[in-house]
Homo-oligomer: A and B are copies of this chain.
Amino acid sequence: MEPSALRKLLEQVRDGSVSPDDAVSRLRHMPFEDLGFAKVDHHRRLRAGMPEVIFSRGKTPEQVAKIFQSLAKHGGNVLATRADQSHFRAVKRLVRKAEYRESAQAVVLRHDCTIYGKGAIVIVSAGTSDIPIAEEALVTAEIMGNKVAHLYDVGVAGIHRLLSNHNVIDDARVVIVCAGMEGALPSVVGGLVRVPVIAVPTSIGYGASFNGLAALLGMLNSCASNVTVVNIDNGFGAGYVASMINRL
């Protein structure tokens, strides 16, 4: 049922050609979702600056490029995660202003550079191997309009490195912590700050890391009460929810 159909029905009510009772009856069987679409528009405003996102893995360069081009037309920021060089080249051919963030394996198009976040989002990571996931979180937070800072390679086995740089995390309004192996870093960071910590287990490790399961379980059992967890390697999700918190 089109909105125009709704208007037509109401005009018939005004005309008297349809009685209110009949209209009630028709409306009750009307697919309510069409009305719901208004809601979606309302949402769109709330979503200002939130990127349209493409998960590139498992898609061909051509597929990613076409979707990217199509999303770029909406005028907002566009983000393609898990994209390699070949994905980027294909996108670049269609969308000139697209850029490649190699460390994050992301293709980005930034139309809207407004800062929407009220404070800083700080991304912390345990080892150098965790950096790609951390960078995915960082790029996501940036493209969604946040000031971001990062503190990398501060694993818990060398706790002084983290403590020496605590001023970086002291300024955060939200902290994202990426760690593989035993996934202990969010607990330590959670104890040092008084803001929400979003923990991202990474699949870094071998043997009994079981592709990130060890880190995931560790983070879910964190003894720091300000820690919540996203899926293994989900840097994008962490950047997204951190941005949402930072706009509150």
Where the two chains meet, the residues of A that have a C-beta atom closer than 8 Å to any C-beta of B are 3, 6-7, 10-11, 13-14, 16, 19-21, 23-24, 27-40, 43, 46-47, 53, 57-58, 118-119, 126-127, 129, 155-161, 163-167, 173-174, 180-184, 187-188, 190-192, 194-196, 198, 201, 203, 205-234, 236-237, 240-241, 244-246, 248
Tell me whether A31 and B223 are in contact (CB under 8 A).
no
Tell me whether B206 and A214 are in contact (CB under 8 A).
no
For this complex, 21 residue pairs linking A to B, each with C-beta atoms less than 8 Å apart, are A7-B20, A13-B23, A14-B16, A28-B37, A32-B163, A33-B160, A33-B165, A34-B164, A37-B164, A39-B160, A156-B156, A156-B191, A173-B248, A183-B184, A195-B244, A207-B220, A208-B221, A214-B217, A216-B220, A221-B231, A248-B248
* Given contact pairs A206-B233, A217-B218, A36 touches B160 in the complex (Cβ within 8 A): yes
Interface of A is mostly: helix
Query: What is the copy number of this chain in the assembly?
Result: 8
Query: Of B38, B194, B223, which is within 8 A of A182 by CB?
Result: B223
Query: Of B23, B28, B173, B231, which is within 8 A of A207 by CB?
Result: B231
Tell me whether A223 and B181 are in contact (CB under 8 A).
yes
* Given contact pairs A157-B191, A218-B214, A229-B230, A203 touches B198 in the complex (Cβ within 8 A): no
* Given contact pairs A21-B7, A194-B244, A31 touches B221 in the complex (Cβ within 8 A): no
State in angstroms the CA–CA spacing of A198 and B227 once bound together: 11
A155: B residues at CB distance < 8 A: 187, 191, 223
The smallest C-beta distance from A246 to any residue of chain B, in angstroms, reads 8
* Given contact pairs A27-B35, A28-B3, A231 touches B208 in the complex (Cβ within 8 A): yes
The smallest C-beta distance from A95 to any residue of chain B, in angstroms, reads 20
